[in-house]
């Protein structure tokens, strides 16, 4: 059975990655990334919105009656 990656897993990975980059920048004497929790949450939400939009656009979603009728004709061939 195929297991999908959950949004919680992706969120934890992104938070860990940002924390590691911030720590590395701080150790190198550079200014860390200007992210707070709200900004990071907004960025992650934007990423999920973009991914969902691309997925919905890519899928063959037949919305109009003409498109559904054409799909039926193609299926009969």
User: What digits encode the pLDDT tens for the residues 48-58?
Assistant: 888 888 777 77
Asked whether residue 34 is domain-assigned, the answer is: yes
CA dihedral for 55, 57, 60, 64, sign (positive or negative): positive
Indicate the SS3 state at residue 30: coil
Q: Has this prediction a pTM greater than 0.85? A: no
What would the mean pLDDT of 13-32 be, rounded to a whole number? 84
Structurally, how many domains does the chain consist of?
A: 1
Whether residue 2 is contained in a domain is answered as no
CA distance 48 to 42: 10
Residue 31 belongs to a domain: yes
Structural domain of 68: 7-76
Q: Which of residues 3 and 26 earns the better pLDDT score?
A: 26
Residue 1 lies in a domain: no
């Amino acid at each position: 059975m195929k297991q999908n990656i959950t949004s919680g897993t992706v969120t934890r990975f992104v938070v860990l990655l940002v924390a590691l980059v911030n720590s590395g920048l701080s150790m190198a004497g550079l200014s860390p990334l200007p992210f707070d929790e709200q900004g990071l949450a907004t960025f992650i939400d934007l990423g999920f919105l973009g991914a969902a939009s691309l997925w919905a656009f890519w899928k063959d979603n037949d919305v109009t009656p003409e498109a559904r009728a054409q799909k039926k004709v193609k299926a009969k061939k």
